[in-house]
């Protein structure tokens, strides 16, 4: 087989940085290989992707040393546009890469740039739209598609250039579980197509089907090998900010032989070696420990219809939330999670029905009063950061609320300590990493000391280290008595941290109960296009009450 990508002693430094983004990368990728690239935030994954189609060093200049060859062509001496028929690049942000007003024009954009005749463009639109499963959507506006469909369209529009090498930079990070499945199934199908595929992803389970896995750390390529070899090295993965497959961890802690990477392998090993016995348990009887507190927020026949287009987003929500709860709000995109959460702090007002917070209707509060009761952290911290220093940013809410400067100073220091950013007071927020900016956003909501804190996708786009960081902060806050509600697509975050889970589907509540009970009903979850993580499925099979590795280990050892 021929070499498709060859990287020879590549080092690169962005013009504004002193620290190199990539250091002495040396590797080769064979034709038709499927390679998964993993690493912590800031490890250089995206930068490495950019070096393959020439965005580095043509779009981003800076210090570039070494050589990158794709199909024998040296990247640095060809323009990005010339390489575009050889190397296709799909970005994480599907909103920014879709540009046209309907699906077929989006598909046609690349071929048009290369002056292909109309009949050829037509052929490619047909072929690749059906490849990504969007034949029926030719005349739809991209903005009206779901997240998964958008990302599939982005992939299709790149495939329309028929590149030999397809590079996807975290194509599933912003997607719900359903969209993620859709995109990964395309990656699987591409394997039989004779193209080289490089995929950046955070989830170890994606890597199972790859030919090889590459690990980046601080700009260095520190491991490359078959998925099993790389993924079973737990300390190496953790040092790279990658979550080790939890089934592997379980086996290691139990002292069981073998290194299963997914659910089926695990069950097979356990059964064939008789390591533990599956048990059937009924978790329905498990009830929420309501002894904790009194109801603090409740809704009563809540309906909401978006104006102008009359989309009914919420269709009758009756729900009570108690003081001190830690709740995960799950569901596909468009199931109404965010719409519901925006009712909790009065950003949206019910079309009919009512939302009560501490015995008063949300519509009777002003936004200022609400901000002191219910904090809401938006998904993207960059939607709210505007100040010159972290201190000002975190203190902004308090200043608006009219607190005097001494109180502000004290509360800002307090909030920064909780999120672990003490000492960053005078830093410029824009220069912080994504994980740190996320924590600044949390701190800026915390400073007002709201009893209830809602977070929309607090872990999206963060590596495992940062995800654990932010979730540990939330757990601490919860223990101090705050009520925490998170909207999330990340199932492991829900199962590992929350006590109660609410699953939404098409504007209604599909299930609501203790997280253990909700995740025991795998059928009900799949009705909402959700899926329990492998570890939880294993826990269901084994009949353990715990959903974390440590908890399961303890329970099974306790059984004797």
Is the Cβ–Cβ distance between 42 and 48 less than 8 Å? Answer: no
Question: Which helix (H) or strand (E) covers residue 33, if one does?
Answer: none
Q: Binding other proteins by CB under 8 A: which of 53, 212, 515, 517?
A: 53
Task: For residues 539 and 525, give the distance between their C-alpha atoms in angstroms, rounded to a whole number.
Answer: 16
Q: Which two tokens stand for residue 50?
A: 């950019």
- Which residues within the stretch 241-260 sit at the binding site for other proteins (CB under 8 A)? none
Rule CB under 8 A: say whether 187 interacts with other proteins.
no
Task: For residues 340 and 348, give the distance between their C-alpha atoms in angstroms, rounded to a whole number.
Answer: 9
Cβ neighbour number for residue 477 with a 10 Å cutoff: 18
Please say whether the dihedral angle defined by the alpha carbons of residues 363, 369, 374 and 376, taken in this order, is positive or negative.
positive
Nearer to other proteins, 53 or 534 (CB): 53
Q: Give the closest residue to 520 by CA, choosing from 286, 249, 266.
A: 286
DSSP 448: T
The residues, any chain, with a CB within 8 Å of residue 318's CB and separated by 6 or more, are 299, 300, 301, 302, 509
Nearer to other proteins, 255 or 307 (CB): 307
Rule CB under 8 A: say whether 448 interacts with other proteins.
yes
Please identify, among the stretches 1-9, 107-115, 179-187, 272-280, the one whose residues bind other proteins according to the rule CB under 8 A. Answer: 107-115
Please identify, among the stretches 174-182, 267-275, 443-451, 513-521, the one whose residues bind other proteins according to the rule CB under 8 A. Answer: 443-451
Nearer to other proteins, 102 or 358 (CB): 102
Question: Which helix (H) or strand (E) covers residue 125, if one does?
Answer: helix 118-131
Q: Binding other proteins by CB under 8 A: which of 12, 64, 91, 251?
A: 91
Rule CB under 8 A: say whether 109 interacts with other proteins.
yes
Rule CB under 8 A: say whether 89 interacts with other proteins.
yes
Rule CB under 8 A: say whether 68 interacts with other proteins.
no
Binding mask 197-236 for other proteins (x = CB under 8 A): ----------------------------------------
Nearer to other proteins, 11 or 387 (CB): 387
Q: Which two tokens stand for residue 539?
A: 């826990």
Q: Binding other proteins by CB under 8 A: which of 48, 330, 371, 486?
A: 371
Greatest alpha-carbon pair distance for the chain in Å reads 72
Rule CB under 8 A: say whether 196 interacts with other proteins.
no
Q: Binding other proteins by CB under 8 A: which of 63, 273, 306, 349?
A: 306
Nearer to other proteins, 154 or 552 (CB): 154
Is the Cβ–Cβ distance between 41 and 435 less than 8 Å? Answer: yes
Task: For residues 429 and 436, give the distance between their C-alpha atoms in angstroms, rounded to a whole number.
Answer: 8
List, in sequence order, every residue forming a beta bridge with 65; answer none if it has no partner: 11
Rule CB under 8 A: say whether 349 interacts with other proteins.
no
Nearer to other proteins, 147 or 539 (CB): 147
Task: For residues 42 and 46, give the distance between their C-alpha atoms in angstroms, rounded to a whole number.
Answer: 9
Rule CB under 8 A: say whether 112 interacts with other proteins.
yes
Q: Give the closest residue to 233 by CA, choosing from 210, 212, 255, 215.
A: 215
- How many residues at the interface with other proteins, by CB under 8 A? 71
Q: Tell me how far, at minimum, the Cβ of 184 lies from other proteins, in Å.
A: 21
Rule CB under 8 A: say whether 274 interacts with other proteins.
no
Q: Tell me how far, at minimum, the Cβ of 343 lies from other proteins, in Å.
A: 12
Q: Binding other proteins by CB under 8 A: which of 3, 69, 105, 286?
A: 105
Rule CB under 8 A: say whether 77 interacts with other proteins.
no
Nearer to other proteins, 360 or 368 (CB): 368
Rule CB under 8 A: say whether 559 interacts with other proteins.
no
Nearer to other proteins, 113 or 433 (CB): 113
The residues, any chain, with a CB within 8 Å of residue 410's CB and separated by 6 or more, are none
Q: Binding other proteins by CB under 8 A: which of 14, 283, 378, 541?
A: 378
Please identify, among the stretches 61-69, 157-165, 221-229, 233-241, the one whose residues bind other proteins according to the rule CB under 8 A. Answer: 157-165
Residue with tokens 């739209």: 129
Binding mask 392-421 for other proteins (x = CB under 8 A): ----xx--xx--------------------
Alpha helices (runs of H) in 308-446, residue ranges in sequence order: 337-344, 367-373, 390-401, 405-418, 434-446
Task: For residues 142 and 119, give the distance between their C-alpha atoms in angstroms, rounded to a whole number.
Answer: 23
Q: Binding other proteins by CB under 8 A: which of 67, 73, 78, 85?
A: 85
Question: Which helix (H) or strand (E) covers residue 12, if one does?
Answer: strand 3-13
- Which residues within the stretch 137-156 sit at the binding site for other proteins (CB under 8 A)? 139, 141, 143-144
Task: For residues 464 and 471, give the distance between their C-alpha atoms in angstroms, rounded to a whole number.
Answer: 10
272: left (phi over 0), alpha (psi -120 to 50) or beta: alpha
């Amino acid at each position: 087989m021929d070499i498709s990508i060859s990287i020879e002693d590549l080092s690169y430094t962005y013009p504004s940085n002193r620290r190199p983004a990539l250091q002495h990368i040396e590797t080769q990728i064979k034709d038709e290989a499927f390679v998964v690239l993993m690493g912590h935030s800031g490890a250089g994954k995206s930068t490495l992707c950019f070096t393959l189609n020439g965005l580095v060093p043509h779009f981003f200049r800076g210090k570039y040393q070494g050589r990158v060859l794709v199909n024998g062509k040296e990247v640095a001496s060809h323009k990005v546009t010339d390489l575009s028929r050889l190397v296709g690049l799909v970005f994480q942000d599907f909103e920014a890469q879709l540009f046209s007003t309907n699906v077929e024009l989006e598909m046609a954009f690349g071929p048009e740039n290369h002056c292909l005749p109309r009949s050829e463009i037509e052929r490619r639109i047909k072929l690749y739209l059906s490849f990504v499963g969007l034949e029926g959507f030719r005349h739809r506006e991209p903005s009206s598609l779901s997240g998964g469909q958008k990302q599939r369209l982005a992939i299709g529009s790149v495939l329309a250039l028929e590149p030999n090498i397809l590079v996807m930079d975290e194509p599933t990070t912003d997607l719900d579980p359903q969209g993620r499945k859709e995109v990964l199934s395309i990656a699987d199908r591409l394997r039989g197509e004779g193209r080289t595929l490089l995929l950046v992803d955070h989830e170890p389970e994606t890597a199972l089907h790859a030919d090889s896995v590459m690990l980046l750390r601080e700009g260095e390529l520190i491991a490359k090998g078959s998925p099993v070899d790389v993924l079973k090295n737990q300390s190496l993965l953790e040092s790279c900010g990658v979550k080790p497959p939890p089934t592997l961890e379980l086996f290691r802690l139990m002292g069981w032989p073998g290194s299963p990477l997914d659910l089926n392998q695990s069950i097979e090993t356990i059964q064939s070696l008789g390591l533990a016995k599956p048990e059937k348990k009924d978790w329905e009887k498990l009830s929420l420990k309501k002894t904790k507190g009194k109801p603090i927020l409740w809704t009563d026949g809540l309906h909401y219809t978006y104006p102008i287009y009359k989309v009914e987003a919420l269709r009758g929500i009756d729900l009570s939330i108690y003081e001190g709860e830690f709740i995960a709000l799950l569901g596909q995109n468009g199931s109404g999670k965010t719409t519901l959460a925006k009712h909790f702090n009065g950003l949206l007002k019910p079309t009919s029905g009512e939302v009560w917070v501490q015995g008063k209707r949300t519509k009777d509060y002003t936004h200022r009063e609400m901000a002191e009761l219910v904090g809401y952290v938006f998904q993207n911290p960059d939607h709210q950061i505007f100040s010159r220093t972290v201190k000002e940013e975190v203190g902004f809410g308090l200043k608006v609320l009219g607190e005097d400067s001494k109180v502000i100073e004290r509360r800002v220091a307090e909030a920064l300590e909780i999120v672990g950013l003490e000492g960053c007071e005078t830093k410029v927020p824009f220069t912080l990493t994504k994980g740190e900016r996320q924590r600044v956003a949390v701190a800026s909501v915390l400073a007002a000391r709201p009893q209830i804190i809602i977070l929309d996708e607090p872990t999206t786009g963060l590596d495992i280290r940062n995800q654990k960081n932010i979730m540990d902060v939330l757990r601490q806050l919860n223990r101090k008595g705050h009520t925490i509600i998170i909207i999330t697509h990340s199932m492991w975050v829900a199962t590992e941290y929350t006590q109660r889970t609410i699953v939404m589907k098409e504007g209604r509540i599909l299930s609501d109960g203790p997280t253990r009970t909700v995740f025991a009903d795998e059928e009900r979850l799949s009705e909402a296009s959700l899926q329990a993580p492998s570890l939880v499925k294993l826990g269901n099979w084994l009949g353990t009450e715990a959903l974390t590795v440590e908890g399961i280990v303890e329970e099974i050892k306790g059984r004797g």
